[in-house]
Structure 1
């Protein structure tokens, strides 16, 4: 994947907010930074199979025309988020596999990087039917492989499940049809911590690669209850690149913005907007916090640099 240019959605939340406020409006510079940076497009249980197919086709067609690759996230497995703020998912395994096939049909033979089911393995001990979930993930990877997509199975993060346990869960699924695992999705752990975790997993999994979500990890994680849920004081992390070139992390395939920057993590038991709701001020605060620190990663990438 090294050298692949990543695609930024021109119709993202940040891009629409910027268009509404204008280039001279409040927070315009912060919004522009986010809008210009490639961010994953999520396909989830809020979409019917046909809607997911159409969106996958739209995104991959636009990215291909630009000579770039989009990052897609699949988030519709039954019992997703184990009853948390993003609870839901397909009605059953059959419905889920049909939905994944629809996404694959939308991708066609166009290039795509796909993050498969955030939290699904990390939470597998919190939902019934662990073997069924393992099978669904295995089948989803096989379906995506038929498109030629570069898929990464989500494997939680360094602060959640220990590497031995997670490696066993990944091995149960199998990575024959995947490029590796995805780490830190929608979380805030520092890149160095995720690289250490990723390298440990890679050793246990035969040298597979991994990608890290750096969208909001510029200041590292918060502390306290629900520290992962719209915490204040966080910052944008390093801009996406498919060439990290870190000698200390030889299996790190890419740094990506997987979480949609500025979208809510959920109500957080304090009345925040529901998961997935656009929070413009939170997005601006993330960008401003990154800008306030000399040398802080998270500066805007142009369409031709830092996206390779």
Structure 2
């Protein structure tokens, strides 16, 4: 990249945060009546990917989705001003204003830099330690500058939708046997509360708290404790439920929207309930439609207002292609029945890193129909398709990212019942472009692109 271009990416003026209570009421659903920001950085990567493939049909499919809206990730302090790989936040906000043409426009952004980030994974470890010093930097060097930028008057007509700290609070529910998660817990809670408060005071930010996915939190014990954790953190923040527009599930994951041929977890097959099969392990939430409906009810019981909405990341959960089942199994053996019927083709529901066989899912959609119980505000692409989940081998870097064996295709994980991870080989660092993965996602899109 030319020096002038790098300078343009990195340049950003110093700003002073202005803290004030919101002057106007937020929309019930920010996506209604609004366009969405198309990230030129991602669109350019898609165009480059299309130019590299030899099949003109595949290239056409890639270009057909290049203008879909994707989230802008603030995954480290340097991302605020911009890096060699992506423009900074102010550049994106200016571009969003230009794209809006004076009409309502949603700008999707991910807040993702907690101290001790991703305590139970290594591929996306962050830059800040789980210490008081790390917490201070999170507030003053990360959240405060972001809030200051968002609070500039030229951006007041944007509808800023913020995904708040993926995987953070869910880790506090299920991974408290991990010493790193124990150490991170107080900073996760304090950091999320601080982010909610500062972003709410901007006045036009809609915060959606990350709520993992059905294959992580769907079990009754996990889901109940998750709802309590979410409610405790929200109600302990300065503005409580006023600062939360809802929850976002399946962020950067590939859990299907619907298990089309497995609609009933209590159905008896071969003498057992479908949910008791080895694949589901007694988890009654088979997909993200199940989980969002379940989560909504749980949060209402915890005191959430009925206006909360749900977002689902559908960027990589299509599971199309030749391996997708076309009919329910006729087997009378429970495990065979489930394995032949399930849309999700992973080796295990916990296999999260660059899973082989995944495909692009539903395109970003406002108020999707047919799922009233889920109270969906939108299908969104939080994780831009084509960006890696983590490297398959150790790669030296200055981003705090390490090799997680869940990204190693040769690794048999005890967390997956001794199965291979099913991860793609030759993967780059998390967040970096992964050409082979993008080609796979496009080929396996469901609904198909072309």
Normalising by structure 2, what TM-score? 0.60
* Partner in structure 2 of residue 144 of structure 1: 199
Structure 1 residues 58-91: Cα deviation after superposition (integer angstroms, max 9, x where no partner): 2222122222222111110011111421112424
For residues 315 and 200 of structure 2, what CA distance do their matches in structure 1 show?
Answer: 26
* Partner in structure 2 of residue 283 of structure 1: 438
For structure 1, the residue ranges without an aligned partner over 5 or more in a row are 291-295, 301-308
Residues 238-247 or 146-155, more deviating? 238-247
Structure 1 residues 16-45: Cα deviation after superposition (integer angstroms, max 9, x where no partner): 351576499644223213322111111112
Structure 1 residues 141-173: Cα deviation after superposition (integer angstroms, max 9, x where no partner): 111112221110111111112321211111111
For residues 191 and 160 of structure 2, what CA distance do their matches in structure 1 show?
Answer: 20
Q: Return the offset for 1:221.
A: 3.6
- The structure number with the bigger radius of gyration is 2
Structure 1 residues 274-297: Cα deviation after superposition (integer angstroms, max 9, x where no partner): 21120122112211212xxxxx32
For residues 114 and 171 of structure 1, what CA distance do their matches in structure 2 show?
Answer: 18
* Partner in structure 2 of residue 102 of structure 1: 145
Matched, 1:79 2:116: yes
What is the root-mean-square deviation in Å for CA atoms of aligned residues?
2.4
For residues 203 and 230 of structure 1, what CA distance do their matches in structure 2 show?
Answer: 31
Relative to structure 1, the CA distance from residue 298 to residue 240 in structure 2 (aligned partners, 3 Å threshold; closer, same or farther) is farther
* Partner in structure 1 of residue 403 of structure 2: none
For structure 2, the residue ranges without an aligned partner over 5 or more in a row are 1-29, 235-240, 259-286, 301-305, 320-342, 392-406, 410-425
Q: 1:116, 1:154 within 8 Å by CA — same for their partners in 2? A: yes
Q: 2:115, 2:184 within 8 Å by CA — same for their partners in 1? A: no
Relative to structure 1, the CA distance from residue 23 to residue 234 in structure 2 (aligned partners, 3 Å threshold; closer, same or farther) is closer
Relative to structure 1, the CA distance from residue 129 to residue 230 in structure 2 (aligned partners, 3 Å threshold; closer, same or farther) is closer
For residues 227 and 247 of structure 1, what CA distance do their matches in structure 2 show?
Answer: 27
Matched, 1:182 2:248: yes
Relative to structure 1, the CA distance from residue 114 to residue 298 in structure 2 (aligned partners, 3 Å threshold; closer, same or farther) is farther
Count of aligned pairs between the two proteins: 293
Higher relative contact order, chain-length normalized (CA < 8 Å, sep 6+): 1
Matched, 1:156 2:212: yes
Normalising by structure 1, what TM-score? 0.86
For residues 287 and 233 of structure 1, what CA distance do their matches in structure 2 show?
Answer: 11
For residues 298 and 61 of structure 1, what CA distance do their matches in structure 2 show?
Answer: 33
Q: Which secondary structure does the structure 2 equivalent of 1:201 belong to? A: helix
For residues 196 and 231 of structure 2, what CA distance do their matches in structure 1 show?
Answer: 13
For residues 285 and 20 of structure 1, what CA distance do their matches in structure 2 show?
Answer: 12
Q: 2:50, 2:60 within 8 Å by CA — same for their partners in 1? A: no
For residues 50 and 41 of structure 1, what CA distance do their matches in structure 2 show?
Answer: 13
Relative to structure 1, the CA distance from residue 247 to residue 277 in structure 2 (aligned partners, 3 Å threshold; closer, same or farther) is closer
For residues 448 and 366 of structure 2, what CA distance do their matches in structure 1 show?
Answer: 15
Q: Return the offset for 1:263.
A: 0.9
Out of 60, 65, 77, the residue aligned to residue 29 of structure 1 is 60
Matched, 1:209 2:309: yes
Relative to structure 1, the CA distance from residue 211 to residue 17 in structure 2 (aligned partners, 3 Å threshold; closer, same or farther) is closer
Out of 240, 256, 265, the residue aligned to residue 380 of structure 2 is 256
Q: Which secondary structure does the structure 2 equivalent of 1:223 belong to? A: coil
Out of 66, 75, 85, the residue aligned to residue 99 of structure 2 is 66
